[in-house]
Amino acid sequence: MKALLFTAHGGPEVLTVADIPAPHAGPGEIRIAVRAVGVSPADDALRSGAWKSFFPIPLPYVVGVDAAGVVDEIGAGVEGVRAGDEVYGVRVAGGTTAEHVVFDLWAAKPAAWTWSQAGGAAGGVATAAHALDELGVRAGSVLLLDGASGGVGAVAVQLAVARGARVIGTASPANHAFLRDLGAEPVTYGPGLAERVGLGSAGGAGLGSAGGAGLGSAGGAGTRVDAALDVGGHGDVTELVALTGTPDAVRTLVAGNAVHGVRLIRVDPAGVPAALASAARLADAGRLAVPIAAEYRITEGAAAHTRIARGHARGKVVITLGAE
């Protein structure tokens, strides 16, 4: 089968499409014919070698951790799924940017999603849902998402809104309307975030104000932020700690930002199938969309990685394979 892989760390140019043996489903696993795969900043970090000191991987390495496709092989002990079913899922060990992949973490693909949306969704859903659980986000919570317009951020906004939380999302001004459509209150990212959100300001230009003091305020003392999630890794986590009042209320998805008591999110695989199934129900109810920033074919893998490395993608970058 064809797969997108690299044999040495480096820039996007080290990626190549190669023929490798197809995997087969073992006990508790299914195999799918892949239709679409998400591309994430983690893929860029693994390929470049930025993570090799704390997350070593075997070489050659087939990129990708999430995918969607059609079940074509079922391992022993697997129930509730049959050949021909459409699913989406995660493979923690990677290897999903290939014509076939084996899953032990999956759920039924929502009918409301295209293949590209489903292929790009699973990793973001698993990560965002776990982060919201760790942070205790629920109805009435005020959540700040630093880097809210990317693939994971856009999903996290919607999952938090579905829980009844109020969401403040940072992004460049060009992405503010996009965040409003998802249900977040946008604010520009970068230094001075606490002042822009309106925490404790006096006469500042807080988000959503009209010359008032803070976020959604009318001359008050600013907004309360219950929890913060560093999604993009471009900001200063000390500002997130200042906004929440404690590092215990802050999480990051970026290893280098796990400082000052802020903890790194590590997804528990045991919770992934339930998170995927819950997200699928939201999608089919019209409450969870997966915005697509760009689509590429497997032969354009280097271009897809170049796009993700630039950052500021509005939604998910996806690689498509197989039948349309």
70: left (phi over 0), alpha (psi -120 to 50) or beta: beta
pLDDT, tens digit, for every residue of 98-121?
A: 999 999 999 999 999 999 999 999
Check if the beta carbon of residue 122 is closer than 8 Å to that of residue 150: no
Check if the beta carbon of residue 114 is closer than 8 Å to that of residue 148: no
Strand partners, 142: 166
The answer to whether residue 2 scores a pLDDT higher than 50 is yes
The answer to whether residue 158 scores a pLDDT higher than 50 is yes
Q: Do 2-121+290-320 and 125-264 share a fold?
A: no
Note the pLDDT of residue 261.
Answer: 94
* Main-chain dihedrals φ then ψ at residue 310, nearest 5 degrees: -70, -25
Compute CA 305 distance to the chain's CA centroid, rounded to the nearest angstrom: 16
User: Per-domain residue ranges for the chain?
Assistant: 2-121+290-320, 125-264
Question: Could you tell me the pLDDT band of residue 204, with boundaries at 50, 70 and 90?
Answer: very low
Residues contacting residue 285 through CB under 8 Å, at least 6 positions apart: none
Q: Is the pTM of this model over 0.75?
A: yes
The CATH code that applies to domain 2-121+290-320 is 3.90.180.10
3-state helix, strand, coil in the chain (%, to 5): 30, 25, 45
Closest CA to 232 of 168, 158, 170, 143: 170
Domain 125-264 has CATH 3.40.50.720: yes
Transcribe 109-150 into DSSP letters.
PPTTS-HHHHHTTHHHHHHHHHHHHHHT--TT-EEEEES-SB
Q: Which amino acid is at 198?
A: G
pLDDT, tens digit, for every residue of 225-281?
A: 999 999 987 778 999 999 999 999 999 998 888 999 999 998 999 999 999 999 999
27: left (phi over 0), alpha (psi -120 to 50) or beta: beta
Note the pLDDT of residue 202.
Answer: 30
Closest CA to 154 of 131, 196, 183: 183
Compute CA 86 distance to the chain's CA centroid, rounded to the nearest angstrom: 21
Note the pLDDT of residue 55.
Answer: 83
Q: Is residue 278 within a helix (H) or strand (E), and if so which, with residue range?
A: helix 272-284
